[in-house]
Structure 1
Amino acid sequence: MRVLLMNVPDANVGKTTDDWDIEATDIGVFPPMGILYLAGAIRALGRHEVKLVDCILDRLTPEQAAQRAKDYAPDVIGLTVYTPNLYDALMLTRSLRAALPKATIVWGGPHTMLFPAESMAQPEVDYLITGEAEETFPAFLDALEDGKPLDFIPGVWMRKGAEVVNTGAPGYVEDIDKLPFPAFDLVDFKRYFSAIGTGLPVGTICSSRGCPFHCTFCCKPYSTYRSRSVENILAEMELYHAQGIREFFFFDDLFNASAKRVKAIAESILAKNWKDVVWSFRGRVDAVDEDMLRLVKKAGCRQILFGVEDASDEGLKAINKKISVKQVFQAMRLCRKVGIMTSTNWIIGFPHHKTREDIVKLIDNAVAIDSDFAQFNICIVYQGTAMFDLAVEKKLFDPDIWRKHALNPIPNFVEPIWEEHLSRRELSELLKQCYRRFYFRPMSILRKVMRVRRLSELMLFARGAMTLLGIKGYARKKHVQGQESAAR
């Protein structure tokens, strides 16, 4: 069968602030790892033809995407759906159904695990494949083509007459080492970028899955942590390296869960004698030490992205982060000592942020911690989190707010936030202060300019400044021009 996998557009994603949301594309355009892994798994079995369309990368409307699909004439179309892009997913699905009335349309992704019945309430959706689908989706395709029952494939939701039924727990891959590598040749992967990268093409790698921690604001499908072997990771890096890729980003939720594993990866990179390779990863501040940092720096580690979230020990305890402010300062100090750049993530609008002064103190500490980059967000209260349960208990909003949206999605859905103490408007204004106070400091600007080594980096720097000033279109255009110049 001909299979088309699609990364859904993001033109109407949920809104957090009144007037100043930083869009996903303002911090980079990242490859759709889920469907790239899925494409690799389908193709590895050799039975079905697979194509991929990234609507975000190509800025496609639902109608344009449906026309591309029609040109390919697939038998099955698979969409990865996240709750924030639900409206776009539904509009794309309806356009696909109009253009290809005989195609089988399948939804997967985190939204379908949270809201399977609501997803199946959309008449244009034929099936759901919930959970990790690298094993279950190819089995589903085989059964569909052979006309066999689907009952023994985990995580499938389907209609039997007027009834919606499912085949049990979502799919789960125990041994992620055995998964084929993502099918990056199906997209123009050199067009993906990170706003805090070098501006050169990046090889994105997921070397592990899951997170064993339980932060109160985080909604995650799996708590079990599974990691790939060092040999498997290096084999994927070699494929990129052979195509001229010299920058890598480990996109794991938690890359440094094991210091031993991080050191083994660094030592293996050094053994390859890749003098021109640089890489970054996402990790925790309590899982770094000077010996590890010196080793990864020697192996080409350029930057570490730390999820800090709050700036007081009381706040960190309240969200169950299980780190301390002292550990944050220590991690930043060590990284600067060995020459590794840092980025920190912060969240405002937690339940314990009761006054403007609480958030001003967070900004003060973020500035004092002085990472090279920082990203700030207003806390969204997602269903499936401990924070959502507490908000419902306090009657801060309709307990069915997410379910109603799942049944009848609207464009730019105003996502629920914690407004017990500070309003959405107040948090929106404070979010602006966070960004502008952090980035518009003379020493911070000078440090970033002094690190610029190529035109592509300068274009990213300009893009970030324009975004913070609210001139997004100009910044995006300049980034594209910079990429084209770098390519030449």
Structure 2
Amino acid sequence: MKILLLNVPDAHVGKTTDDWDLEATDIGVFPPMGILYIAGALQAGGKHEVALIDCILDRLDPEEAVSRAAAHDPDVVGLTVYTPTLYDALILTRRLRERLPRARIVWGGPHVSLYPDESMAQPEVDYLVLGEAEESFPAFLDALEHGQPFDHIPGIVWREGATVRRSGEPGYVRDIDAIPFPAFDLLPFKRYFSAIGTGMPVGTICSSRGCPFHCTFCCKPYSTYRSRSVDNILDEIAAYYAQGIREFFFFDDLFNASAKRVSAIAQGIIDRRFSIVWSFRGRVDAINEDMLRLARRSGCRQALFGVEDATDEGLKRINKKITVEQVRRAVRLCRKCGILTSTNWIIGFPHHKTREDVLHLIDTAVSIDSDFAQFNIMIAYDGTAIFQEGVAKGLFSPDIWRGHAAAPVPNFVEPIWEEHLSRAELSQLLKQCYRRFYFRPLSILRKLLRVRRFGELALFAKGALTLLGIKGYHRKTHQEGQSRFVDPA
């Protein structure tokens, strides 16, 4: 069969404020790793013809995306769906159904695993694939092609007349070393980039899955942590390397689960003589100087740390299990070893009761002085401890997310904590965070002194112009970090 996989447009992404319009593509576009891994699994099986369209990279509207899709004349169209881009996914699905009436349309991704009933209520959707799909989706396609039942395949949802059927629990890949490498031949990888990278084309690698921590604001707590073997990770780097990719971003929820693991990966990069630069997302409490020095020797350029709050009391309240001093130490050690740092911060937690609380966070971020920083307003995601607390206080409806899942609207306004500070006040404070942090003479000078290539200078200039006219930044999703920077563990 001919299989077409689509990365959905993000023209109507959910938002936290009305005047927050910086597009995520202004700070970088990363490969859509979820569907690339699935495409790789299909290619490895050798049974189907596979094509892929990244609507975000090419800035395609639904009509343009459908025109490209029609040219492939697919038997099956698969879409990865995230809650913030749900409206775009639904509009695209409806256009696909009109233009390609005989094609089977399949939804997968984090959103459908959270809201299978609401997703299947959309009449244009034929099937759902819940959970991790690298094993279940190829098995589903084989059964579909040969008219066989789906009951033995994990996480498949389908209709039999007026009845919706489901085959057990969502898909789960126990041995992630067995997952074939992403189908990087299906997309123009040299067009993907990071605004805080070097300006070179960037490849994205997930060296592990899951996170054992339970932060109160995170919508996927206590997911089982699974790590790939070092050789398997290095083999994937080699596959990218052969295609001319020299910059890599490890997009794990938790890359540095242990310093020993990071050191083994770094040593492997050195031993295989890969001349690359790489960055990772991780925790501040799982690093040491020996690890960082070895990582730097292997090409590590930047570490992105999820900090979130600026007081030890606040960090305890969100169950972060770190301290402010650990953050300061991590940034100092990275700078000592020649590794850049980026810290992620969140404003609008329930315990941020006054403007002074947020201003203290800004002051702390400035004093810690990481090379980059990302600030966001806390979104109360469905299923999180903070969401349940807000429902109990009557701050938002318990069905606000499920209602959106059932009847998506463009630019869905995501629930935030407005018990103490209004949405408008938090929006203004968010702008202040970015301006205070980035428009310091020392910060600007440090960035200019690091410029070594024209691409870096161009990205720096673009970022500065963006911040000068800042209204904000829409994150694609906190459900999964495939295409955007989101908070590390």
- TM-score tier by shorter-chain length is over 0.9
Question: Is the partner of 1:157 in helix, strand or coil?
Answer: strand
Q: CA deviation at 1:202?
A: 1.1
Q: Give the match for residue 44 of structure 2.
A: 44
| Whole-Å separation in 1 of the counterparts to 2:359 and 2:221 | 33
Q: CA deviation at 1:447?
A: 0.2
Question: Is the partner of 1:171 in helix, strand or coil?
Answer: coil
Question: Is the partner of 2:59 in helix, strand or coil?
Answer: coil
- The structure-2 alpha-carbon separation of the partners of 1:181 and 1:168, relative to structure 1 and needing over 3 Å to count, comes to same
Q: Give the match for residue 432 of structure 2.
A: 433
Question: Is the partner of 2:285 in helix, strand or coil?
Answer: helix
Retained in 2: the 8 A contact 1:41–1:134? yes
Q: CA deviation at 1:22?
A: 3.5
| Whole-Å separation in 2 of the counterparts to 1:402 and 1:52 | 29
| Whole-Å separation in 2 of the counterparts to 1:46 and 1:278 | 33
Q: Which aligned pairs between 1:206-285 and structure 2 lie closer than 5 A?
A: 206-220=206-220, 223-274=223-274, 276-285=275-284
Retained in 1: the 8 A contact 2:214–2:221? no
Q: Which aligned pairs between 1:315-330 and structure 2 lie closer than 5 A?
A: 315-330=314-329
1:146 alignment partner AA: H
Q: CA deviation at 1:221?
A: 7.4
Q: CA deviation at 1:23?
A: 2.7
Q: Give the match for residue 334 of structure 1.
A: 333
Question: Is the partner of 1:210 in helix, strand or coil?
Answer: strand
Q: CA deviation at 1:471?
A: 7.2
Q: CA deviation at 1:163?
A: 1.6
Retained in 2: the 8 A contact 1:247–1:279? yes
Retained in 1: the 8 A contact 2:431–2:470? no
| Whole-Å separation in 1 of the counterparts to 2:23 and 2:101 | 33
Retained in 1: the 8 A contact 2:307–2:327? yes
Q: Give the match for residue 72 of structure 1.
A: 72
- The structure-2 alpha-carbon separation of the partners of 1:112 and 1:221, relative to structure 1 and needing over 3 Å to count, comes to farther
Q: CA deviation at 1:18?
A: 2.4
Q: CA deviation at 1:222?
A: 6.2
Q: Which aligned pairs between 1:444-483 and structure 2 lie closer than 5 A?
A: 444-470=443-469
2:352 alignment partner AA: H
Unaligned runs of 5+ in 1: 473-488
| Whole-Å separation in 2 of the counterparts to 1:26 and 1:306 | 21
Unaligned runs of 5+ in 2: 472-489
Retained in 1: the 8 A contact 2:81–2:107? yes
Question: Is the partner of 2:223 in helix, strand or coil?
Answer: coil
The answer to whether 1:351 aligns with 2:350 is yes
Retained in 2: the 8 A contact 1:110–1:221? no
1:25 alignment partner AA: T
2:245 alignment partner AA: I
- For each residue in 1:230-252, what CA deviation from the matched residue of structure 2 results, as whole angstroms up to 9, or x when unmatched? 00011111111122221111111
Q: Give the match for residue 400 of structure 1.
A: 399
Retained in 1: the 8 A contact 2:213–2:222? no
| Whole-Å separation in 2 of the counterparts to 1:153 and 1:236 | 28
**Percent identity at matched positions?**
76
Question: Is the partner of 1:344 in helix, strand or coil?
Answer: strand
Q: Give the match for residue 418 of structure 1.
A: 417
Q: Give the match for residue 156 of structure 2.
A: 156
| Whole-Å separation in 1 of the counterparts to 2:470 and 2:313 | 37
Retained in 2: the 8 A contact 1:77–1:103? yes
1:273 alignment partner AA: R
1:360 alignment partner AA: L
| Whole-Å separation in 1 of the counterparts to 2:469 and 2:156 | 44
- For each residue in 1:75-103, what CA deviation from the matched residue of structure 2 results, as whole angstroms up to 9, or x when unmatched? 00000000000000000000100110110
Retained in 1: the 8 A contact 2:214–2:222? no
Question: Is the partner of 1:381 in helix, strand or coil?
Answer: coil
1:137 alignment partner AA: F
Question: Is the partner of 1:204 in helix, strand or coil?
Answer: strand
Question: Is the partner of 1:124 in helix, strand or coil?
Answer: coil
1:412 alignment partner AA: N
Question: Is the partner of 2:211 in helix, strand or coil?
Answer: coil
Q: Give the match for residue 300 of structure 2.
A: 301
The answer to whether 1:130 aligns with 2:147 is no
RMSD: 1.0
Give the aligned length. 471
Question: Is the partner of 1:190 in helix, strand or coil?
Answer: helix
| Whole-Å separation in 2 of the counterparts to 1:108 and 1:24 | 22
Q: Give the match for residue 484 of structure 1.
A: none
| Whole-Å separation in 1 of the counterparts to 2:300 and 2:393 | 45
Shift >3 Å, 4+ stretches: none
1:144 alignment partner AA: L
- The structure-2 alpha-carbon separation of the partners of 1:221 and 1:307, relative to structure 1 and needing over 3 Å to count, comes to closer
- For each residue in 1:118-155, what CA deviation from the matched residue of structure 2 results, as whole angstroms up to 9, or x when unmatched? 00110000010000000000000000000001111110
- Higher mean C-alpha deviation, range 404-413 or range 234-243: 234-243
| Whole-Å separation in 2 of the counterparts to 1:305 and 1:124 | 40
The answer to whether 1:146 aligns with 2:146 is yes
| Whole-Å separation in 1 of the counterparts to 2:20 and 2:243 | 39
2:326 alignment partner AA: Q
- For each residue in 1:12-54, what CA deviation from the matched residue of structure 2 results, as whole angstroms up to 9, or x when unmatched? 0001112124332122101100000000001101111110000
